[in-house]
Amino acid sequence: MTDITKEALSPPRSFLSQDAIQLFYRLLAALLICATLSFLTDSFLSLGNILNVLRQASLTFFIASGLTLVVLTAGLDLSVGANVALSACLAGTVIHHTGSPMLGILTGLACGGTVGLLNGIMVTALRIPSFIATYGMLWVLNGLSYWYMAGETIHGFPAGFRQIGSGYLFGLPIPVYLLLIFLAIGTLFAQRTIWGQEIYAIGANPVAARLSGIPVVRRLLLVYAVSGTMAGLASIIFLSRLNSAEADIGESLTLPAIAAVLIGGTSLFGGVGTVFGTFIGALILTLVLNGMNLLSVSANWQPLVTGVIVILAVWLDMKTRRRAQ
């Protein structure tokens, strides 16, 4: 292995280094939020509320985990929420007409993955900045969803399908089990595989990664396709949970997903972050939103608080990066 290859494949990723310290501080923040909310409210520590927090955090995590890989390459996918909406509408239609939940699930995953792949093609082949490409895709998907649904709502799915998003197994919501499975897969892929190391290398130094022989284009296509597929998976969970499909189902999902990634410590500049950190970020964000609901904070103020948290996360990321330089 050449020196430049070693340099490209050696970004900071170890749980025993700076990443571990950052995760410790985020876990500490989550515990402090829990302690504060348990002091301010009587219902926060109830079993029903804890399970609700875990279920909501899992829904955000499904979208944010795929988005984490994109951000690790110094890219961004603003179309994930709209992707969830279109995938849910198509999957709901297939289930309604065929009565087959499996065909609906495959349709949702295929739609999400195809949208992600198209994003990757725009970024790599057309060399459109990811922010612009996925922002344009957001509007395209929104237009398709509203045109396809024409103001209609699809509802009433088979009871077995509804168990995916609403059922319990041994006292825990099924989405929490799915979260644990995909958290393990995402962590192992990013931290322990050559492809994961190459994704970090592309985000840390794309020129060195390309010169060292890493297939940058193929890896970028992969991360955007994975991000889209995870949005497709989230659409299935939402469809099952809500028991209905509407064109505007994903409008409020993009900002929380981005917030979870940034709060979890993944740098917008690429090359730094973990999937596990994104899980902690989704948990912190869900705790904050849950706390505002329990404290009867107006729904009008909640997007403002989320936006402030995102700005603070970006500011801390930039400050940390300057200090490291």
Structure-token pair, residue 315:
């500011």
User: Do 240 and 165 form a contact (C-beta atoms < 8 A)?
Assistant: yes
pLDDT band at 249 (very low <50, low <70, confident <90, very high): confident
CA distance 164 to 161: 6
- Please state, for a pLDDT cut of 90, what percent of the chain lies above it: 60
Burial class (CB in 10 A: 0-12, 13-18, 19+), 215: middle
For residues 91 and 3, the model is more confident at 91
Return the pLDDT at 164. Answer: 92
Mean model confidence pLDDT for the chain:
88
pLDDT at position 16: 52
Residues whose CB falls within 8 Å of the CB of residue 201, separated by 6 or more in sequence, listed in order: 8, 9, 10, 11, 208, 209, 212, 214, 271
Structure confidence at residue 42 as a pLDDT band (50, 70, 90): confident
Alpha-carbon dihedral sign for residues 41, 45, 46, 50: positive
Alpha-carbon torsion, ordered 314, 319, 323, 325, to 10 deg: 50
Task: Report the C-alpha gap between 26 and 283 in whole angstroms.
Answer: 10
Find residue 173's DSSP bridge partners.
Answer: 168
Residue 252: pLDDT band (50, 70, 90) is: confident
Report pLDDT digits (tens) over 96-141: 999 999 999 999 999 999 999 999 999 999 999 999 999 999 999 9
Mean pLDDT of 219-238: 95
Angle at 246 between CA 235 and CA 59, to 5 degrees: 30
CB 108 within 8 Å of CB 91? yes
Cβ count near 28 (within 10 Å): 10
Predicted pLDDT at 74: 93
The 3-class SS string of the chain reads CCHHHHHHCCCCCCCCCHHHHHHHHHHHHHHHHHHHHHHHCCCCCCHHHHHHHHHHHHHHHHHHHHHHHHHHCCCCCCCHHHHHHHHHHHHHHHHHHHCCHHHHHHHHHHHHHHHHHHHHHHHHCCCCCHHHHHHHHHHHHHHHHHHHHCCCCEECCCHHHHHHHHCEECCEEHHHHHHHHHHHHHHHHHHHCHHHHHHHHHHHCHHHHHHCCCCHHHHHHHHHHHHHHHHHHHHHHHHHHHCEECCCCCCCCHHHHHHHHHHCCCCCCCCCCCHHHHHHHHHHHHHHHHHHHHCCCCCCCHHHHHHHHHHHHHHHHHHHHHHHC
Type of residue at 78: L
Which pLDDT band holds residue 25 (cuts at 50, 70, 90)? Answer: confident
CA–CA separation, 9 and 290 (whole Å): 40
Residue keyed to tokens 């912190």: 284
